[in-house]
Amino acid sequence: MNGWFSWWFTWAALAALGALAWLRGGRAGALGLATILYDQFGPLMSTVNIFTFIFCVYLYLLGKRRPDDGQAALTGNRFYDYFMGAARNPRNGTFDWKLFCEARPGLIGWVVIDLSLAAKQYQLGGTLTLPMALVCAFHLWYVADYYFHEEAILTTWDIKHENFGWMLCWGDLVWVPFTYTLQALYLVHHRHGLPPWAAAGIIVLNVTGYLIFRGTNIQKHYFRKNPDAPLKWWGTKAEFIETRSGSRLLTSGFWGIARHLNYLGDLMMGLAWCLVCGFDHLLPYFYIIYFTILLVHRERRDHVTCAQKYGGDWNDYCGKVRWRILPGIY
């Protein structure tokens, strides 16, 4: 778990590169280096796409040669197994490709590209707008928080249960850094301000979403580590349903409010990122539209999986925790 170190080491390395450019080429040289990801956005995205398609052939062959415990069963359909993955945790030695791809280049690249887009806006207009500053700050905080709580990723569905193939790999290396930066990309050429009341409301929405998202996930993580400990952020004894399979379904704290309250927090943050772009165009809202569809679909899929796994215990759980994501509505 060296994400926190990797995060800060990356910024130290980039700061050193910026300082060298400043010394060699003055302010223009440093700014030119900062905007390079915007200037090469298309070629960079094409290169990462090509790399990912080829790399996933290697992951497929590696998984076929070295299957691991707990992986999802292969179908024998080469295309499907390439798409979904031939191993749960393909490794070279102790180097875990799934953990690396999910937790390193895509997430750090997302924020680095954001800041390159901000530098381009500054280069073109001479100032940095408040919407651009807010988007970059929100994204930077989100990713930094991820690394600060990196251990929590080990109990997520992706890491514990899904094979690592094209779907996850392409999502990690291409989808995340090149679509999650869409608001910042839009703001490069669409400059506008925000009234103080709007900026304050968006900040409150993002912070509230973060507290729900982080609080919910951290509760689940520590409950899985020690079900008998007081609930994180709650301080009370955890209430749960002991299933016939031996698993425990948490029914108190954040998890007593809704079955996936963490999804609500994630969506609140995503909406805040989109709102800073105003209402002149639908494009910046692609993220919240896509993410809502993704999380609702994931919740429905998880519901079916858990119903099959836990049987009547799952019905008891749903009776106690009625709401799926949004209390009182869904």
Give tens-digit pLDDT for 159-186.
Answer: 888 899 999 999 999 999 999 999 999 9
- pTM (two decimals): 0.91
Assign 322 to helix, strand or coil.
coil
**Three-state secondary structure call for residue 316:** helix
Asked if pLDDT for residue 29 goes beyond 70, the answer is no
pLDDT mean across residues, the chain: 92
CA distance 163 to 74: 10
Contact by Cβ (8 Å): 321, 254: no
Share of the chain above pLDDT 90, in %: 75
Residue 253's nearest CA partner among 233, 270, 273 is: 233
Work out the average pLDDT over 271-293. Answer: 96
pLDDT at 17: 85
